[in-house]
């Protein structure tokens, strides 16, 4: 944000210069029309408000306006870059108890959202990369181990990582996995529950899906 503040100050100074030049140019125009015999009302015109100075001021003004427009475009691009680099979300399944077992592979929707800059959709459970870059994702699953648990971190239809827990008696267990991925803008990431497995969550947010942008590319 420091770079943006400095750019803002520079633009403010440039706008002030453009305003001063506009006034001087107006003085030159009025002097040209009136034969430089009567100055315009208001603040006094500079002594050099003649036809030649008006032409020079017009050239300087046009150049400064072009520089101002270019600087504003650069500032807007910088703001978009800074905004695009702020990508993060953290969500839990919610107080649903066990989800599954289900015969078909099922997309999971993490409805309890703790942090979201907007790229994660809590209605669908899908994270959509707003910018191309390198991202970090983590999936944690909690379940009663009387039944297996299987979670798949998917980029579109391709598995990127998995979390599994096998049958091991009547006790709750937690498993997790994480992955760093290079994504393009618009790539989608979500978590699927594999067939005939289950996962558990309650108010303690035991099963979570999180991610954030490490750096844009």
3-state SS, residue 90? strand
Residues of the chain with pLDDT under 70: 1-54, 57, 75-84
CB-based burial, 24-42: b 16+ in 10 Å, e otherwise? bbbbbbbbbeeeeeeebee
Q: Which pLDDT score is estimated for 188?
A: 98
Q: What is the mean pLDDT of the chain?
A: 83
Note whether 88 and 115 are within 8 A (CB).
yes
Per-residue pLDDT, 9: 66
Q: What is the pTM of this model?
A: 0.65
What pLDDT is recorded for position 70?
A: 77
């Amino acid at each position: 944000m420091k770079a943006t503040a400095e750019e803002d100050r520079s633009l403010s100074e440039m706008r002030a210069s453009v305003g001063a030049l506009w006034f001087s140019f107006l003085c030159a125009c009025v002097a040209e029309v009136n034969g430089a015999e009567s100055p315009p009302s208001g603040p006094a015109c500079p002594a050099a408000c003649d036809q030649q100075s008006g032409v020079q001021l017009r050239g300087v003004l046009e150049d400064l306006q072009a520089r101002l427009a270019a600087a504003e475009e650069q500032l807007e691009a910088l703001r978009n870059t800074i905004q695009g680099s702020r990508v993060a979300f953290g969500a839990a399944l919610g107080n649903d108890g066990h989800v599954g077992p289900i015969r078909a592979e099922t997309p999971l929707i993490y409805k309890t959202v703790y942090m979201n800059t907007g790229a994660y959709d809590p209605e669908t459970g899908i994270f959509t990369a707003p910018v191309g870059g390198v991202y970090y994702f983590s999936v944690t699953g909690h379940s009663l181990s009387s039944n297996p648990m299987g979670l798949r971190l998917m980029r579109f239809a391709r598995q990127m990582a998995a979390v599994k827990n096998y049958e091991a008696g009547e006790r709750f267990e937690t498993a997790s996995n994480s992955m760093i991925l290079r994504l393009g803008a618009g790539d989608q990431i979500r978590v699927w529950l594999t067939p005939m497995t289950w996962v558990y969550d309650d108010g303690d947010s035991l099963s979570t899906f999180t991610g954030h942008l490490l750096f844009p590319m």
